[in-house]
């Protein structure tokens, strides 16, 4: 990677304009990539707008790198991503555990099931109920993400509810 890493904000969801700004591409390019790369699959909210998760943003950045910097064709980039994801070589972003988020894109492609957080055996064995600083920080981030999600759901329900006079 010959370019500086793009700082992705700590948010639960991103709108298409935000992803375009982070990736430096136009919306129609991003929508085209969605049709070509099955691992780039944003969800849609109740209003029908695309909502991207952090792993989607990271995948868009990786696709851009392969196409624009490494000069891959669409077909070549698809093969490269599939091989990298299968082999666990691609790490478009890392969490605290050091695991790449892109590996979850392959899991999403194979299964629509929900990802569960990984818990170490040491944490499971700890029965005294004490929380580490890492646990507290993870809980704070989760609470922030849940508040953002709740806010989005409230906005969606207000937008879809017709006003009565």
Average pLDDT over residues 116-123: 45
| 139: number of Cβ within 10 Å | 11
Tell me what pLDDT residue 123 has: 47
Tell me what pLDDT residue 4 has: 56
Tell me what pLDDT residue 62 has: 94
Give the largest Cα separation in the chain, rounded.
59
Kindly calculate the radius of gyration of the chain based on its CA atoms and give it in whole angstroms: 18
Average pLDDT over residues 32-41: 93
**Using one digit for the tens of pLDDT, what is the confidence trace for 51-93?**
999 999 999 999 999 999 999 999 999 999 988 888 776 554 4
Beta carbons of 34 and 71 less than 8 angstroms apart? no
Tell me what pLDDT residue 160 has: 64
The answer to whether residue 99 scores a pLDDT higher than 60 is no
**Using one digit for the tens of pLDDT, what is the confidence trace for 7-19?**
888 889 999 999 9
Tell me what pLDDT residue 129 has: 56
Structure-model confidence comparison of residues 118 and 135, the more confident one: 135
Q: Which overall architecture, per CATH, does domain 14-160 show?
A: Orthogonal Bundle (1.10)
Q: Of 23, 22, 96, 100, nearest to 55 (Cα)?
A: 100
Question: Burial level of 77, CB count in 10 A (0-12/13-18/19+)?
Answer: buried
């Amino acid at each position: 990677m010959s370019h500086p890493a793009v700082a992705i904000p700590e948010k639960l969801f991103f709108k298409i304009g935000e992803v375009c700004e982070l990736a430096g591409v136009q919306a129609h390019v991003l929508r085209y990539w969605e049709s070509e790369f099955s691992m780039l699959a944003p969800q849609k909210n109740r209003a029908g707008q695309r909502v991207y998760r952090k792993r989607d943003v990271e995948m868009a950045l990786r696709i851009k790198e392969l196409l624009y910097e490494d000069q891959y064709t669409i077909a070549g980039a698809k093969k490269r991503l599939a091989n990298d994801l299968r082999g666990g070589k691609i790490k478009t972003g890392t969490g605290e555990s050091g695991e790449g988020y892109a590996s979850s894109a392959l899991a999403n492609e194979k299964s629509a099931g929900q990802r569960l957080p990984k818990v170490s055996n040491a944490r499971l064995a700890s029965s005294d109920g004490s929380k580490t600083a890492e646990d507290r920080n993870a809980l704070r981030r989760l609470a922030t993400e849940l508040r953002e999600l709740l806010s989005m759901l409230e906005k969606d329900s207000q937008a879809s509810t017709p006003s009565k006079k």
